[in-house]
Structure 1
Amino acid sequence: MTSLAQDRPEKFRIGRVFSNSFAVIGRNLGFLAVVVGLFSTLPALLYNLWNLSRVATLVNVDSAGNAAAFETSAMGDYSGLSIVASLIIFVLALLVQAALVRAAIEDLNGKRPVIGDCIQIALRSFLPTLGIGILIIVTLVVAVFVMVFIAWVIPPIGWLIGLALAFIPAFMWLISVSVSVPIAVQERLGVFGSISRSRALTKGSRWSIFWLLLIIGVAAMLIQAVFSLFFGLALATAGGVTGVGVLVGAIGSTLVSTIFSTMLSVTIAVTYVELRQVKEGTSVDELAEIFS
């Protein structure tokens, strides 16, 4: 394990970020198995098992011709529990991301991340991390709402107008604040201070960050689509959702989502380090000093 505290790079490089991200993951498989496994994979697996089992119940009831009565009595409880479970998974995902930021910086500095230390840092920065997460979700919801509203008011070209006036600006803003969580963890600037700092750091590199995140997103969607296709074919062959189908579907979807969420979290942390080195010439050991 070697430190990346080298000469100041001249430009943000997607290839270098990917290389460093895969290197961080490869050197810390045990750490990831514990932290990501306990706080991300396990909760997601339990939720997917529960969710798919409910789907199987609906399918089986529907085949018996009693779906309407079942939905009336069960859909309210199902929706409420889904919301609670989603919130818990969201909170745990924020904690995992903060812990991975700490782990990535420690690794790039030539040190071995310590699980207890990373969790402590994640808990300490939880509130600003949560605030950033909520702002991002609200921004997406508002952008989608405005786009749909414009499409409804001005058919049939409203979708294009809404896309140009709402969704694209919101998406570009999200790119500009993409390293807010690492900043909140590393520099302790709070919610709005971290967002402002992220916008300053990403300026001049936002298109590169866009392509970086697009590559990860497209890869995730393709693999998820392939898995969903094979899972759907298996269900069609079996004639319905079986217990084995629920188990396979839950494990498969959980692994796909966990792998790419981990990759995304580590890549965002490495992107933050890369931006600091490119724009400010900050070495990784200087980045790690705040944690000493």
Structure 2
Amino acid sequence: MASTTEYSDRESLGVGSIVGESFSILFKNFIAVILLALAPMLLSSIIAGAMVGADVALGVADPDFSTSTSVTTWVLTIVLQIVFYALTTALLVQLAYDSKLGRPLQLGRYFSPALRAALPIAILTTISSILAGFASLALIIPGIWVYAVFSVVAPAVVIEGAGFGGLGRSAALTKGYRWPIFGALLLVGICAGIVNFLAGVFAGVLADVGSWAMIVGFSIIAALSAGLTGISIALIYARLREIKEGVTVDQIASVFD
């Protein structure tokens, strides 16, 4: 793990500014963020519900680990949820830059670049999540730090076309700024965790309506936490490009024009 002095003589990342602007973009585009994040989040929840049951997918029931097949199915649902979460980030990267630049949002336009990058994002996000998971077996802090190293994989793949080199590109961009990225992600993660908790409560209110109603209700609220996370990653990526390469947000966003 890098020393705490690795970024001491460098330009500040601006953690407070990134977190504050993430919330600003979220609230400014509240409905658009929900609509954009809801599609992959809902699809993820529906697939997970079909594979392991709605109650297990929502975390209100324990998964069945009695057979190797059930364990494999549960692991696959976790991987699918990670992949869909990464694709949500890929969609929100574009929204974040349009909002930051004061440009009109074009939700339909965001899907094509994200889908083109879907395969490398899915594979690389799964790999980075496994690495972070192993690191978390020791302590939670190493896990988040590893996540910080690979935090900008999605924007690197979508914007730069880094493909399967996305892990290396993310590691290079985050080098020297992993502790402040850790701090930003921790703050955002706490807020996202609160939103997900509220989503679980809301889903519980819908229990009498049925399991699938619970999934829809949960996905709508959880789309907000996914939105906040995706926006913050987009802003972290933009700030790193600005500091290290002198690239402005409008130059980054120009790849979608």
The normalised TM-score by structure 1 is 0.66
Aligned partner of 2:246 in structure 1 is: 281
* 1:45-91 deviation digits (Å, cap 9, x = unpaired): 78569422899xx89xxxxxxxxxxx89x988876665555454443
- Pairwise CA distance, 1:270: 0.9
- Pairwise CA distance, 1:281: 2.5
* 1:124-168 deviation digits (Å, cap 9, x = unpaired): 111221122121122134435xx5xxxxxxxxxxxxxx44xxx75
- 1:228-239 superposed matches below 5 A: none
Distance 1:26 1:95, change over 3 A: same
Percent same amino acid among aligned pairs? Answer: 25
- Cα distance in structure 1, aligned partners of 2:12 and 2:97: 20
Aligned partner of 2:183 in structure 1 is: 211
Q: What is the Cα-based RMSD across aligned positions, in Å?
A: 3.8
Distance 1:285 1:226, change over 3 A: closer
For the 8 Å contact 1:48–1:254, the answer to whether it is kept is no
Aligned partner of 1:36 in structure 2 is: 37
- Cα distance in structure 2, aligned partners of 1:129 and 1:142: 20
Aligned residues, how many?
A: 242
Give the gaps of 5 or more residues in structure 1. 1-9, 60-70, 148-161, 235-240
Paired residue type of 1:25: L
Structure with larger Rg: 1
- Cα distance in structure 2, aligned partners of 1:275 and 1:86: 30
- Pairwise CA distance, 1:231: 8.9
Query: What is the DSSP-based 3-state SS (H/G/I as helix, E as strand, rest coil) of the residue aligned with 1:110?
Result: coil
- Cα distance in structure 1, aligned partners of 2:195 and 2:99: 28
* 1:79-115 deviation digits (Å, cap 9, x = unpaired): 6665555454443323221111122122223322322
Paired residue type of 2:233: I
For the 8 Å contact 2:48–2:57, the answer to whether it is kept is no
- Pairwise CA distance, 1:27: 3.3
Task: Between 75-84 and 103-112, report the one with greater CA deviation.
Answer: 75-84
- Pairwise CA distance, 1:216: 2.0
- Cα distance in structure 2, aligned partners of 1:251 and 1:123: 23
Task: Between 194-203 and 13-22, report the one with greater CA deviation.
Answer: 194-203
Distance 1:113 1:174, change over 3 A: same
For the 8 Å contact 1:220–1:256, the answer to whether it is kept is no
- Pairwise CA distance, 1:283: 1.3
Aligned partner of 2:231 in structure 1 is: 266
Residue 24 (structure 2) pairs with residue 52 (structure 1): no
Q: 1:173 aligns with which of 139, 146, 149?
A: 146
For the 8 Å contact 1:14–1:208, the answer to whether it is kept is yes
The normalised TM-score by structure 2 is 0.74
- Cα distance in structure 2, aligned partners of 1:86 and 1:137: 10
- 1:183-202 superposed matches below 5 A: 183-192=156-165, 194-202=166-174
For the 8 Å contact 2:96–2:234, the answer to whether it is kept is yes
For the 8 Å contact 1:178–1:268, the answer to whether it is kept is yes
Greater relative contact order: 1 or 2 (C-alpha under 8 angstroms, separation 6 or more)?
Answer: 1
The structure whose residues are more often helix, as a share, is: 1
- Pairwise CA distance, 1:31: 2.6
Query: What is the DSSP-based 3-state SS (H/G/I as helix, E as strand, rest coil) of the residue aligned with 2:189?
Result: helix
- Cα distance in structure 2, aligned partners of 1:42 and 1:175: 26
For the 8 Å contact 1:102–1:121, the answer to whether it is kept is no
* 1:184-206 deviation digits (Å, cap 9, x = unpaired): 111111223x2222223223322
- Cα distance in structure 2, aligned partners of 1:203 and 1:271: 13
Paired residue type of 1:102: Q
Give the gaps of 5 or more residues in structure 2. 1-10
